[in-house]
Structure 1
């Protein structure tokens, strides 16, 4: 087991043999070492977690970091594709303001400290492991906040396993209310090509972030770049929720859509998000798909305001 001040890597999945079992894995030992080094550096820039746990589910063991000690309904953070807990570096201070408990999750089947053990073949499977994780944390209720593709499993929980949900918050959720754009597909496919020069990969990822010159400059950018290069996910393509599924959601939903997003057509995403009964939908014109890093204080204020209305 690899140890650091902030993180420990349990039985990491390494090598192509995991692909035959439809399990996400690091490409090889060198890829794992590269990712682990960036992960540990990135975790070192976060506040000290109050607790870290491995929670067992039917689909694998999930790493959860707890920040804050408040007694209210916790906020559970779901990161985007190729990412994990350190993605929330700029958000944690605001989200834990006032003592609210925040649980940051390394997604199952994604690069990080969680360990997948069974295939995840559908939205119902994604909802199941998250619900089992909440049960393992002994949380009778939780608010789920997902960014990018992390918004998709959060909505799947609202559709398939809503019993423990207090609310869902999505930050420019990919393939959740509108289909992925061709630009996003180019970035997603291009950034995982083996042997691609690092500078070019970072330029592609920078396109997601509103066209910045080098997405590898902040530590979060380097983490995502490593996750996409060094780890292979084994999920089927996510299925866009049906109209009837969105209309049947019975928990409060806050959808923040980035007006400069390349993930989807923002207007179409906002229009479809408004079909969720009682949903609150906002388009932030100046935000790119990297909305959580661009507007951490504004997001913290808006989340706190929204949660204050959820009973």
Structure 2
């Protein structure tokens, strides 16, 4: 696959409707350089796929052998497949894993139609699973990716074997004022790099942002170069949570700035049979902080299904 073929017709130039785009060719090329550098540190994919959905084409990567009910990874806001660099080795040692770049986020997928609600988000995910030939899949999402997993379980549960949620954002409790500042700041392309690093440091529980880490550079590039138009979805109601029928593992970060983790966990426990935990030492960057522990916990969760 050539470098140009990796990206599924990215939208360059401001569109008339509310969809994500790169403002010009140079912005896309700067992002593409960071994306390819992020991919280069991942294990080599066993398969690379492109799937057509009603909202745009989706790029997906398979790590490990096929043939079993796989784990499908859903990245957080401003992120894509390379954000899972720390997680892939321990996950693919135990499971078949697909990672998809979300529609409407900076990555190798593209957005052609506006996303308006949770049903729209669930549609592109469900259509991606179908296009990959997956009859059933275990969704594993972090932050907004975890929110998307819940939306899919609510609106299109037919292909969902389970969902694992890592510090899901705006799903079980309101966003904190600090997180709202981060969200607003990430939408400002003119923001100085040092201030952008400060915002990313808040998310990571105060950890210093290391510009030498490819996945860190990629998220910063997405914040700077891409103009997203993702809607802020309403949180599921108590009745919706009580009506969820798929198995759920929800892990909340005790040091998360996204929400009050105790309140979020209490809401998650409304889901029948949900396994809900708070990891006191974790920040919102939980997937990078505890990759082996996450893989072990997910494996134990799936073994009981």
How many residues align structurally?
305
1:248 and 2:248 are equivalent in the alignment:
no
2:261 pairs with 1:263: no
Which residue in 1 is equivalent to 2:40?
44
CA–CA distance in structure 2, aligned partners of residues 150 and 288 of structure 1: 16
**Number of the residue aligned with 1:305:** 300
In 1, distance between residues paired with 2:271 and 2:35? 36
Counterparts of 2:50 and 2:12 in 1: how far apart (Å)?
19
Indicate which of 76, 79, 85 corresponds to 1:83. 79
The gaps in structure 1 that reach 5 residues or longer are none
How big is each residue's C-alpha offset from its partner over 1:45-73, in whole Å with a ceiling of 9 and x where there is no partner?
Answer: 00110111110111111100001104321
Structure 2 match to 1:12:
10
Please give the residue correspondences for 1:66-77 in structure 2 after superposition, counting only pairs within 5 Å: 66-77=62-73
* TM score, norm. by length of structure 1: 0.95
Alpha-carbon separation, structure 1, partners of 2:11 and 2:209: 30
Secondary structure in 1 matching 2:138 = strand
Deviation of 1:186 after TM superposition, in Å, equals 0.6
2:139 maps to 1:144: yes
- In the alignment, does 2:220 pair up with 1:222? no
| Residue pair 1:109, 1:116 contacting (<8 A) in 2 also | yes
Give the match's secondary structure for 1:131: helix
1:162 Cα offset (Å): 0.5
Q: Which runs of 5+ in 2 are unaligned?
A: none
1:127 to 122, 134, 141: 122
Q: CA RMSD in A?
A: 1.4
Equivalent in the alignment of 1:212? 207
Please list, as runs of the form range in 1=range in 2, the aligned pairs for 1:194-209 lying within 5 A after superposition: 194-209=189-204
Give how far 1:28 is off: 1.9
Are the aligned partners of 2:8 and 2:57 in contact in 1 as well (CA < 8 Å)? no
Cα distance in 2, alignment partners of residues 120 and 194 from structure 1? 22
Inter-partner Cα distance in structure 2 for 1:300 and 1:106: 20
Instruction: Verify the 8 A CA contact 1:191 1:205 in the aligned structure 2.
Output: no
* Inter-partner Cα distance in structure 1 for 2:99 and 2:211: 22
What's the CA shift for 1:216?
3.5
The structural deviation recorded for 1:2 is: 6.2
1:23 counterpart = 2:19: yes
- Between the aligned partners of 2:177 and 2:245, the Cα distance in structure 1 is 32
